[in-house]
Each structure stands twice: as structure tokens, then as C-alpha cells.
Amino acid sequence: MKLLIASSVLIGSCLVAGNPPSRVPVLLELFTSEGCSSCPPADRLLEKFDRDQSIAGADLVVLSEHVDYWNQLGWADPFSSAAYSQRQREYAERLKGEVYTPELVVDGAKGLVGSDEREALAAIRDALRAPKASIGVSAQVVDRKAKIGIRPDQGVEGDVYLALAHDATSSQVLRGENRGRALTHVAVVYSIQKMAGTEATVPLQGDKTRVIVFAAKKGSGRVVAIGQARL
């Protein structure tokens, strides 16, 4: 069902200097909800993109952002946040679209039904035509917090965002449209913020965290640079 909404001990470290020139990173943001019966196919497609990385020339960087506007309809999604609902609304205003689930936003520039693989592939291939810079990302764990440092390529401009995501999650849904279903998700965001400088410290939630940093062009919101690391 589609729901429309009007418009200090170092434990570990990782350093990613950027992506090989032959592979262009493409950001895939899935707006989803465990309360929506149309969302599990989109969740599975995102997992497929993440796992297979089968699009020539593309390094698919995925994020699953669980919205909260389904929560009053029978099941409170444990991964949901009003912050992700607001982020989706901002995309809808910028892209002149609607707010619905599941929605896949490709590189901040194209919104589409998240389970439509054919349209998603076309949008990804279109995104590969645009040049993209790299962001070097250093990440380390200190006192159960992620300490992040970034080194954008020279000339990178725009708003820089830092997202932390669970590598993978699962849930047994007890009520709502997906009642009785065991659902799995990949790269489930639990923190996203705009960076004010080149360093940030964010409390960790659980183990196996993905750290995604991306720069979005002011005005259009198109993603122009991406970097990532894992903790």
C-alpha cells in the first residue's frame, strides 16, 4: 500500500581515501517503513544493489531511512525518525514530487518508486554521467563514540552530510500491514547531520556501523562527492 503525505580508548579505526577512478559512487536513499506493505520489495531491492554491485562503473552507496508517518497506523517502526520524514519532505519540495513510501532518491536528484528496479537502473546509469569527487573519511571508535574526520577533494562545494547506519537489521513485525512478517534491512540510518567542519563525534548505536559522508550542491541537492568507511 502506498501512503501519500501532502506536500578514551581506541577500539578500531578505518580510513577510506576515495573510490577508484573507474567506479563512480552513486548514493541511493530509500525512504521506507515497516508499517507499509509495499516496502519489503523495495528493502530487498536495496539489499540486492548493495550486495551485488553489478552495475558497470558504479559503486552503489545505500542508505535506508525509515520514516515515522506510518507509525500511527498500527506498527511503530523501531528504526523510524521524524528527521527522515522531514528529509523526504525537503526532497519532495526540491524535486516537485510527492511524499510516499517506498521512495528511492538517486544522488539527491531523482525520486522514484523504491521497488521499481527498471527505473532505478535507468536513474543510476543517468547519475553515472555526472562527474563526482571523492571525500576521504577517517573513522575511529573512542568511548563508544564515532570520531569522524573528512578530507574532501579540492574544489568540493555544497552542504556536507554525515550519516551513520547499522550495517544490517532485522525485525519481527507484530501489528499493521506487515503483521507476522520477519523483515530485514541494510544500511539503516540512525544518525544524519550536516557537518560544520572537517570533524564530528557521534554516539554509536550497536556494532558494525557504516559511515557515509556526502556533499550535496546547494539549491539542487544533487550529490557531488561521496566518501565512506566502516566501524
The three cell numbers of residue 170 are 532485522
The amino acid sitting at 112 is L
Please indicate, yes or no, whether the overall pTM of this predicted structure exceeds 0.85.
Answer: yes
For the segment 211-229, the average pLDDT, to the nearest whole number, is 96
Nearest to 178 by CA among 7, 6, 42: 42
Please determine, for residue 157, whether its predicted confidence score (pLDDT) is greater than 70.
yes
Confirm if 3 and 75 have CB atoms less than 8 A apart.
no
Q: Identify the helix (H) or strand (E) that includes residue 121.
A: helix 117-127
- The ranges assigned to domains in the chain are 10-17+25-230
* CATH class given for the domain over 10-17+25-230: mainly beta
Q: What is the pLDDT of residue 9?
A: 29
Confirm if 154 and 189 have CB atoms less than 8 A apart.
no
The amino acid sitting at 41 is P
